[in-house]
Chains A and B, each alone.
Chain A
């Protein structure tokens, strides 16, 4: 493999890992507090659609991103309401939301773009990082990404710091591990858990917008194709830690990037096998490498005072 190809591989691995990473970190925080959002998939799809329509209608990708984020708020509130207030089964309600969003976005897409095929959608700008971007060969391939990715990395670092060093981080952790203790300390478990679902929604919204207006500048029906579930798998793989989740996402991103790289190298691996690879790796990851006791103690269980 030449250096050029290797640099392109690294660059596209990061690009393909970006949506998983954004959604995965949000989901990790939520799971730490005890709420499992199977609806990450639906939230991503909602935002991918809304931000694409927003960018197309206003001509401004930034407004599109904003519309994408706003569109996920009701979805996240619905998930939070179902899993915290109605104490519904989190898996079932999440899958229900995914079905609803898939139907709604497909329906709306047909209505809006039906006649017009492949409308031109303005996308978010790419930014070349100073210094790093000037490295020959590697610079343009690796350090020239959509700005949303850099913003996401900043958000992830802030999240890591908040989780580790603040009382809010402690409260989030405790809401998942010892909700009764949180309750006794005078803080509302429900309040914390609503908050983390909204955060998961925000991050999933960024991830969805990255897919549509960040990466390929168009929307296709059901375009998330299980990325949300991969994000959830990466949280499990990463043992509910920021570093682990990030590595897992990069691994899945690299596995996806192989799809485009191996044919370029003339290595004849069936395309379907390569598309399947991230899911296969996720299965192996959740199946073989994670112990039982790692998950937050009350993950998936609604809290009842």
Chain B
């Protein structure tokens, strides 16, 4: 089984202007949005009301804007990981599980790691690091299976996602793990709230605009991952392994190590995304807290066609889509599943158009 056959777009010399690699994703998004609007009309909701609810939920208030940006960070981190691993022709579809184990690790350390009194922000740095390590290990499992038994990473990361999600369920269901002490049968299956010191600081300190430290962190990582891919020896190794593993091996590149590092790094970014969700917004671990975020991040990575700015653009799009979708459900009675339909259409359209984009760019 060989995975993605579209070559990393960075191989081509950078050209500017309206390239098909830019035009076609835009067209795909426009097409999917049009279908979405048509569906809203079919459901019988006035389209104007739905759009008003959508806009209200995305940029209608400082709070909505901040929520969209925080979501976009989660998608972007998973997307960066996808792009990084994909440079080596590895398809990491395990973001969902990586977010889940990241959230579990962050909660465990924040609640039971005696971090509350630590100075210098260690109270939130340590749980974040735990999440990164947990995610890296989760991604690393897929890497080890790939290297040792040739297991296709798509199927292993997918199965690991299911396992991670059920692990999360286990953690919040069992009082022996992370469930808060049961005082009555009505005690919800969720963890205690993490201590204030472990919460990610808000940039403005204002709960009306709750953008947290995750945003600058994501932007820094965007630069770091971009530089690694474009300017470092490791980036070259990734690309060499992706384009021709046999040739890379003959040239003295350790394909094994490259694969392990790439998938672990992707997992680490997924774990970090889980930490941002938990320490930045949700504060208590609940079943299904990662619901669909890993897949959205994966789709953002796919949409970007290997470019970091592309991931950011797609993540912003999905951050706003999700926020707007939630508000449409709450105020205009349009199910959020509509957003899922739109995303599916975008992925399918782009998958189908990949060949055209490639042919066009080679001319």
- Asked if A and B bind, the verdict is yes
Question: Could you tell me which A residues sit within 8 Å of B by CB distance?
Answer: 36, 38, 78, 81-82, 86-89, 91-93, 95-104, 106-107, 110-111, 221, 226, 229, 232-233, 236, 270-273, 275-276, 279-280, 282-283, 286-288, 290-292, 295, 299-302
Main secondary structure of the interface of B (DSSP, over half): helix
Q: How far is the CB of A289 from chain B (nearest CB, A)?
A: 8
Asked if A103 meets B155 with Cβ closer than 8 Å, knowing A272-B173, A276-B163, A287-B145, the reply is no
Question: Among the listed stretches B110-118, B193-201, B345-353, which one makes contact with chain A, having 4 or more residues with CB under 8 Å of it?
Answer: B345-353
Q: Is the CB of A279 within 8 A of B2?
A: no
Q: Are A92 and B162 in contact (CB under 8 A)?
A: no
Residue B266 CB within 8 A of the other chain = no
Residues in B with CB closer than 8 Å to A91 are: 3-4, 91, 93, 154
Can you report 30 residue pairs joining A to B where beta carbons are below 8 Å apart? A78-B348, A82-B351, A88-B354, A89-B4, A91-B154, A92-B4, A96-B348, A99-B295, A99-B340, A99-B344, A100-B348, A103-B341, A103-B342, A107-B43, A111-B335, A236-B152, A270-B170, A270-B173, A272-B166, A272-B174, A275-B166, A279-B163, A282-B159, A286-B151, A286-B152, A286-B155, A287-B145, A295-B1, A300-B1, A300-B2
Q: Could you tell me the distance between the alpha carbons of A100 and B302 in the complex, rounded to whole angstroms? A: 15
Question: Across the two chains, which residue of chain A brings its CB closest to B42?
Answer: A111
Interface positions of B (Cβ within 8 A of A): 1-6, 39, 43, 91, 93, 145, 149-152, 154-156, 158-160, 162-163, 166-167, 169-170, 173-174, 295, 298-299, 302, 335, 337-348, 350-355
- Are B340 and A102 in contact, with the CB atoms below 8 A? yes
Partner of A100, one of B156, B159, B341: B341
Whether A107 and B335, one on each chain, are in contact in the complex, defined by CB atoms closer than 8 angstroms, is yes
Q: Which of A36, A95, A232 contacts B93 (CB 8 A)?
A: A95
B174, B341, B342, B352: the one contacting A93 at CB < 8 Å is B352
A111 to B44, alpha carbons, bound, how many Å? 10
* Residues of the A chain whose Cβ atoms lie less than 8 Å from the Cβ of B173: 270-272
Partner of B149 from A92, A292, A295 at Cβ < 8 Å? A292
Q: Which of B1, B152, B174 is most buried by chain A, counting CB atoms within 10 A of its CB?
A: B1
- Known: A89-B5, A107-B335, A286-B159. Contact between A279 and B345, CB under 8 A? no
Q: Roughly how many angstroms separate A106 CA and B341 CA in the complex, as a whole number? A: 9
- Asked if B338 and A107 make an inter-chain contact with CB atoms under 8 angstroms apart, the answer reads yes
CB distance from A50 to the nearest CB of B (A): 16
Q: Are B347 and A92 in contact, CB atoms less than 8 angstroms apart?
A: yes
Cα-based distance from A297 to B17 in the complex (angstroms): 41
Q: How far is the CA of A297 from the CA of B22 in the complex (A)?
A: 34
Q: How far is the CA of A292 from the CA of B149 in the complex (A)?
A: 7
